[in-house]
Amino acid sequence: MAAQPLASLDRSTLRERALEALRTAITSGEYRPGNHLGEEELARRLGVSRGTVREALRHLQQEGLVTAGARGMLRVQSLSAAEIRDLFQVRAALEGLAVSLLINSPSRDAAVARLREALSNLDDPNLDFSSHIDADLCFHLLLCQLSENSVLVDAWRNLEGRVRITILSDGGEHHSKIRSGSHHAPIVDAIEAGDTDQAVKVLQDHMMVAADRLAGPSGSRQA
């Protein structure tokens, strides 16, 4: 009697593994923005059925990492300049809320200490490009987590994949300054000072600088 539930669980686990493998391949840059994602090739590489791959790709569409191109062919999402600015505008709103909550939290001092620890990771000279992106996004995720608002954290995570592929597609080693500890330190300083309006402004300015550098001159980047 236990055989059927176990078989069902195995299929579910296979779907989750296929989904995670494809998500990682996209967010690590193995598949670049604009790359075609063929079901047959992916099924062969993953050793799963095309149906399993199709389900995973459908989920990744919902996450915003995959989009349908000409004739319905799926490809890795590639954001236009306007979409990048929209993405970072939403990030600014979410993280601005996190900053406000932190400033008004009785745990603000402890949160500031943890954020300063995260700053040091951003200046590790041994980080390669991908690891530097990880450290940058970990800082911003921590900022949201310290707000202790789980819905805010979920909303931020829903944007994370698109942010990551935007940075990867930029090939932005030359934009490493915006991921440095010194570039992030004013956010922590403003939280510690306790001026909510100023802290939110610092955070929003940080996001707009990043968006401008990743999007390029207004209107110049195409989807």
DSSP output for 102-150: HHTSTTHHHHHHHHHHHHHHHT-TT--HHHHHHHHHHHHHHHHHTTT-H
Q: What is the pLDDT of residue 217?
A: 54
Q: What is the pLDDT of residues 104-124, one digit of tens each?
A: 999 999 999 999 999 998 988
> Two tokens at 169?
């597609």
> Two tokens at 139?
């800082």
Residue 120 in domain: yes
Asked if residue 112 and residue 10 are part of one domain, the reply reads no
Asked if residue 125 and residue 48 are part of one domain, the reply reads no
Which of 57, 76, 95 is the endpoint of a domain? 76
Cα dihedral 135/176/140/98 (nearest 10)? 160
* Higher pLDDT, residue 12 or 46: 46
Task: Look at the pTM and tell me if it is higher than 0.85.
Answer: no
Give the CA distances from residue 96 to residues 39, 91, 180, 197, 211, in Å, rounded to whole numbers and listed in that order: 40, 8, 20, 9, 16
Sign, CA torsion 206/88/139/103: positive
The answer to whether residue 158 scores a pLDDT higher than 90 is yes
The answer to whether residue 23 scores a pLDDT higher than 80 is yes
Asked if residue 100 and residue 202 are part of one domain, the reply reads yes
Q: How far apart are CA 67 and CA 80, in angstroms?
A: 13
Q: What is the pLDDT of residue 185?
A: 96
Q: What is the pLDDT of residue 3?
A: 41
Residue 17 in domain: yes
Asked if residue 137 and residue 51 are part of one domain, the reply reads no
Domain that holds residue 12: 6-76
Question: In degrees, to the nearest 5, what angle opens at C-alpha 71 toward C-alphas 67 and 74?
Answer: 30
Residue 48 in domain: yes
Average pLDDT, the chain: 87
Mean pLDDT of 115-138: 89
Residue 223 in domain: no
Which of 76, 96, 113 is the endpoint of a domain? 76
Q: What is the pLDDT of residue 9?
A: 38
Q: What is the pLDDT of residue 172?
A: 54
The answer to whether residue 7 scores a pLDDT higher than 60 is no
Question: Residue 22 sits in a domain of what CATH number?
Answer: 1.10.10.10
- The proportion of the chain whose per-residue pLDDT surpasses 70, expressed as a percent, equals 89
Q: What is the pLDDT of residues 97-106, one digit of tens each?
A: 999 999 999 9
Asked if residue 173 and residue 102 are part of one domain, the reply reads yes
What is the number of domains present in the chain? 2
**Residue 34: left if φ>0, alpha if ψ -120 to 50, beta else—which one?**
left
Asked if residue 193 and residue 86 are part of one domain, the reply reads yes
Question: Residue 163 sits in a domain of what CATH number?
Answer: 1.20.120.530
Least confident of 2-6, 133-137, 193-197: 2-6
Sign, CA torsion 130/148/92/57: positive
Mean pLDDT of 178-184: 88
Residue 1 in domain: no
Residue 69 in domain: yes
Which of 29, 57, 76 is the endpoint of a domain? 76
